[in-house]
């Protein structure tokens, strides 16, 4: 069983819709990371969180440590949000990222 | 502030050859990690370096090696290349315990 499980694997939305991507994990963590990867390969770190909630523009990330669950929300989605969103975790004092399999998001105009 | 740079960006090698990939972290970042991404296996951890010391190694054969220099630049080497080593190799740098910044990757094709 993977240590990091994401759902859904694929998500298609219409522009303007509210989007939620979920991530569950089964191990102790020091932090949970949400990453974005566009076609072409570049990966951008969106959030790193160990408790509570963070917000950047239209993106919101939450984490529930007790339930070992995190969600990434996108409000008022836009076609430029189309990308693969990856949940990853770090443990202890290590920078090693353990990745989920990613969620491919397509936002249609 | 310049981002993480990786060279070369693209590389084509034949089976049996060896390859060296380079990663220059963001100035002030002493932690560098390497990852391999393939369509079949997704993203997998290769190495983690901090202040020239390898702190962690992923589950890869001994053909994969790496090092970090005193200026925090890092290299990874793959010897005796196999077709299955074709992948996007990504490095990421960070101040230890903070978010990681990824380079654009080196796309290696082994023929």
Give B60-78 pLDDT, tens digit per residue: 999 999 999 999 999 999 9
Residue A5 has pLDDT above 90, yes or no: yes
Q: Coil, strand or helix: which one is B11?
A: strand
A chain contacts of residue B98, beta-carbon cutoff 8 Å:
48
Confidence of residue B80 (pLDDT cuts 50, 70, 90): very high
Phi first, then psi, for residue A82 (nearest 5°) are: -60, 120
Confidence of residue B98 (pLDDT cuts 50, 70, 90): confident
Q: Check if the beta carbon of residue B47 is closer than 8 Å to that of residue B60.
A: no
Residue B41 has pLDDT above 70, yes or no: yes
H or E element at residue B66:
strand B64-68
Looking at residue A41, the DSSP 8-state letter turns out to be S
> In angstroms, what separates the C-alpha of B13 from chain A's closest C-alpha?
20
Could you tell me how far CA B34 lies from the centroid of its own chain?
4
B chain contacts of residue A94, beta-carbon cutoff 8 Å:
48, 55-56
The token pair at A87 is: 């949940």
When CB atoms are compared, the residue of B43, B100, B107 closest to A95 is: B100
> In angstroms, what separates the C-alpha of A76 from chain B's closest C-alpha?
26
A28-84 residue pLDDT tens:
999 999 999 998 778 999 999 999 999 999 999 999 999 999 999 999 999 999 999
Residue B25 has pLDDT above 90, yes or no: yes
How many other CB atoms sit within 10 Å of the CB of residue B54? 13
Q: Do B99 and A41 touch (CB under 8 A)?
A: no
> Which residue of chain A comes nearest to B40, CA vs CA?
A101
Average confidence (pLDDT) over A95-106: 95
A chain contacts of residue B56, beta-carbon cutoff 8 Å:
94-96
Rg (alpha carbons) of chain A, rounded to whole number: 13
B45-57 residue pLDDT tens:
999 999 999 999 9
A9-30 residue pLDDT tens:
999 999 999 999 999 999 999 9
Distance CA A57, CA A79 (A): 16
């Amino acid at each position: 069983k993977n240590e990091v499980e994401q759902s859904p694997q694929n998500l298609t939305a219409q522009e303007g819709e509210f989007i939620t991507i979920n991530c569950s994990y089964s191990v102790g963590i020091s932090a949970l990371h949400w990453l974005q990867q566009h076609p072409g390969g570049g990966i951008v770190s969106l959030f790193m969180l160990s408790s509570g909630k963070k917000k950047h523009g239209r993106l919101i990330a939450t984490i529930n440590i007790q339930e070992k669950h995190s969600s990434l929300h996108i409000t008022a989605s836009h076609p430029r949000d189309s990308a693969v969103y990856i949940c990853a975790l770090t443990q202890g004092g290590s920078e090693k990222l353990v990745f989920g399999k990613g969620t491919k998001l397509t936002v249609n105009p | 502030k310049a981002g993480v740079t990786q060279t070369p960006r693209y590389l084509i090698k034949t089976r049996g050859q060896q390859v060296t990939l380079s990663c220059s972290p963001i100035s002030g970042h002493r932690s560098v990690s390497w990852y391999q991404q393939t369509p079949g296996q997704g993203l997998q951890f290769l190495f983690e370096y901090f202040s020239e010391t390898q702190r962690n190694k992923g589950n890869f054969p001994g053909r994969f090696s790496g090092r970090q220099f005193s200026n925090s630049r890092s290299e990874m080497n793959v010897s005796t290349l196999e077709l299955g080593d074709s992948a996007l190799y990504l490095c990421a740098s960070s101040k230890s315990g903070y978010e990681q910044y990824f380079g654009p990757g080196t796309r290696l094709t082994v023929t």
